[in-house]
Structure 1
Amino acid sequence: MRYHCIIDAYSEDIIRQMEELYAFKTAFLQEAEEGVSYVLCRNRTVVERLGRRISGSAVAIIAEDYSPESVLEALGKETDLEDIYIFGSGICGTELSVRLAARMKGSSVAAVHGLEWKEHVTVKKMVYASHMEGTFRMKKGPYCISLAKGMDRQELEHGTFHIMKEMQCTGLPESVVSRKTTANEAAGGLDEAKVVIAAGRGIRNKENADYLRETAKALGGELGVSRSAAMNAWAPMNRMIGVSGAMLQPDICITAGVSGAAAFYAGIEKSKFIVAINTDGQAPIMKKADVAVADDFVPVVKALRELAER
C-alpha cells in the first residue's frame, strides 16, 4: 500500500496546505511506502517555482482554469485501487476526495485528523459539533481522505519536485455548457494573524463589531466572529471561526461576548494564549481561557486600544 498527496496549486495558501500534508504523513505514514504527489496547477513552472516539496516525485495535472471534472478524469487514470490518497483541508480537497472515491467505487472520509493503516485503514475525525472523536474503518480502496482544518504544520523540505509526468486537461467536459468564476472576498489574513479578536453574540450589534475590527487592526491583528455574529451580518461569513469556518493558531486570541461552544472553541484551541471577556463568569469559554475577565467587553477593549495607540 502506498500513499499519495494531492496538492491544489491554484490555492493562495499552497505552502500552508503542503505543510499540513507533510506533517500528517510524517505523523501517521512513516512506515508506509511513499508514492508520488499530484500537483493541480496551471503550468509546470508553478511547480518548479515552489522551492519546497513533500515528496521526491510529482505528476503535474495541468489546466489553465481549475475544473473538478477534468481533474477527476486525470486522477482517475492514475488511481491505484489499493492506495491512500490524501487531499488538503480546503473546499476543493474535500470535494475531490469524495468524488474520486465515488468514481472509483472506493471509500472516503472528510476532515480527518488521524490515521492507522497496519491491518485496515482506520481514520479519526471530530463528530457531533466537535464534542466527540469518531473512529472510522474504511471498507475498500482507493482510500480517499481530506484533512481537517487547522492541522499541525511541519517545515517543508527544500528543493523541487522531480516531475515524472505532465497530464494536460484541455477544455470543459461535454456536460458543462458554460462556466463563470467569481472570486470570494478575501478573509484578509485571518488564518495567519498572530493576534485575533473573536467576537460573539454578546457584543450586541454591528457597530461594536466595527469597533472591535478597528481595535484588532490597532493591535496588529484581525477580527473573527462566532457563527451567531456572522449570521447577524456583523461581519462577513469568511470571518467565521470554528468547525464551519477558520481554524486558527494565533499567538494571542481575545474573545469578546463569546460563550465558548465546542464548535467555536475548536477554531481557537490551538492559540498560544487566550483571553476571555464575558459578563457571565460561568460561560464555558471562561474555564478554557488562560485569563478570564468577568466584565462587559467595552471598557476592557477600550483600555487595550488606548494602550495600543500610545
Structure 2
Amino acid sequence: MKIALITQCGECTAIANWIAENGLSTAELERWILDPLPDVAEQVLDVLVVQWSLTPADILIFPAGPLGDELATRLALRLHGGSLCQVQTLEALEGLVNKSHWGNALKATLHVTARPLCISLTRESELSASGSNLPAMAEYRIVPTARPDWLESAESIECVTAHPLLQAGCVLVVGLGRSDVGADKIAVLGQALGAEVGYSRARVMNGGFDAERVIGISGHLLAPDICIVAGASGAAALMAGVRHSRFVVAINSDAGAPVFSQADVGIVDDWLPVLVALAASAGV
C-alpha cells in the first residue's frame, strides 16, 4: 500500500505527528510538495491528477484546513475514488477511518473501500504537537498553474501572530451561565488568576464578547496546563477546544452538567463567587 502526503513547502509537523500516531511510518510513503501554495484549488487539481497517474497511491493525505478539505473532495471525484474530510485516525490496511460528527458529539468509524482514498486531517491544538519528523521518502514538487481568469486578485498573509490563548499555560473558559457578568469583570478575574480568557460560542453570540476568543470546534483548540471551565454545560463542540488540557476544573451550579464527566476537579456552585474566591487566594 502506497500513501502520498500532500504538504506545503517547509514545516509539516502536524502531518508528521499524525503519521507517527497512526503507525504509518513503515508504510510506503511519498511526499507531494505544493510549492508555492496555490491561491485556489483550480491551480493544482489537474497537476495532482497527472502526478497520481505517474506515481499512483492508494491513500492521499491532505493537511487540515479549508484548502485540504477542498482538494481531498475534488481530487477524489476526478480520480473516481473516495473522500473524507477532517479525519482523526486511520487504520490503512483495514480501510477504517475515524472522524467526528455532529459538532464532535459523535465519533464514527467508517469502512471505506473506494480507492484512491483522499482524506484531509482534523485540526489539532498547536501546543499538542510532539515535534515528530517525517521519515525519509521520495518527494515530488507540485507547481501550481497560473491563476484562473476569474480570480481578479489574491492577498497573501505571510506572517500571522499567534493568539495569546494558543500560548497560555492557564485558560479560563466562560460559558453562557451568569450572562449578567460582563467582559470587563471576567477579564479582571482572568488577570487575577493569571489566565487568558476565552468564551463559548453561545456566550459570544449573545453579544458583548470578543469573537476572536471563541473556544471549541469552530474556534481555538487549546492545550493549556490548566483549564477552568466556568458556567458551561460541557457541550461537545466547546469541550473539543480544551480536550488536550492537562488539568480541567469545572464550575457549574448544575450537578448533572456533562462538563463534570470531563473534569479532573468539579465544583458545584455559582461560578462567579468561586472565581472571586480563587482570585483572592491567588493574590495572597
TM-score bracket relative to the smaller structure: 0.7 to 0.9
Equivalence map 1:181-260=2 (5 Å): 181=155, 188-205=163-180, 208-260=182-234
CA distance in structure 2 between the aligned counterparts of 1:254 and 1:133, rounded to whole angstroms: 25
Which one of 248, 251, 273 corresponds to residue 247 of structure 2?
273
CA 1:218–1:143: 2 relative to 1, 3 Å: farther
Match of 1:39 in 2: 33
Q: How many equivalent pairs are there?
A: 277
Equivalence map 1:94-243=2 (5 Å): 94-118=69-93, 120-150=94-124, 153-157=129-133, 166-174=141-149, 176-181=150-155, 188-205=163-180, 208-243=182-217
- Paired residues of 2:13 and 2:129 also in contact (CA < 8 A): yes
Which one of 50, 54, 68 corresponds to residue 77 of structure 1?
50
Unmatched segments (≥5 aa) in structure 1: 41-60
CA 1:101–1:186: 2 relative to 1, 3 Å: farther
CA distance in structure 1 between the aligned counterparts of 2:110 and 2:134, rounded to whole angstroms: 35
2:41 matches 1:68: yes
TM-score, length basis structure 2: 0.82
CA distance in structure 2 between the aligned counterparts of 1:4 and 1:285, rounded to whole angstroms: 39
Identity fraction in percent: 34
Tell me the CA shift for residue 201 of structure 1.
Answer: 0.6
CA distance in structure 2 between the aligned counterparts of 1:4 and 1:223, rounded to whole angstroms: 40
Tell me the CA shift for residue 167 of structure 1.
Answer: 4.3
Give 3-state SS (helix, strand or coil) of 2:99's partner: strand
- Paired residues of 2:172 and 2:230 also in contact (CA < 8 A): yes
- Paired residues of 1:203 and 1:209 also in contact (CA < 8 A): no
CA distance in structure 2 between the aligned counterparts of 1:288 and 1:104, rounded to whole angstroms: 42
Q: Which amino acid aligns with 2:67?
A: C
CA 1:226–1:158: 2 relative to 1, 3 Å: same
CA distance in structure 2 between the aligned counterparts of 1:182 and 1:78, rounded to whole angstroms: 26
Q: Which amino acid aligns with 1:3?
A: I
Tell me the CA shift for residue 197 of structure 1.
Answer: 1.0
Aligned CA RMSD, in angstroms, stands at: 3.1
Give a deviation string over 1:163-221, Cα, whole Å, max 9, x none.
955444353113x24134487x977232343211111111405x623432344355444
2:2 matches 1:7: no
CA distance in structure 2 between the aligned counterparts of 1:147 and 1:167, rounded to whole angstroms: 20
Give a deviation string over 1:205-257, Cα, whole Å, max 9, x none.
5x623432344355444222212112223434443222333332211110111
CA distance in structure 1 between the aligned counterparts of 2:101 and 2:240, rounded to whole angstroms: 12
CA 1:215–1:95: 2 relative to 1, 3 Å: farther
Match of 2:25 in 1: 30
Unmatched segments (≥5 aa) in structure 2: none
Equivalence map 1:44-63=2 (5 Å): 61-62=35-36
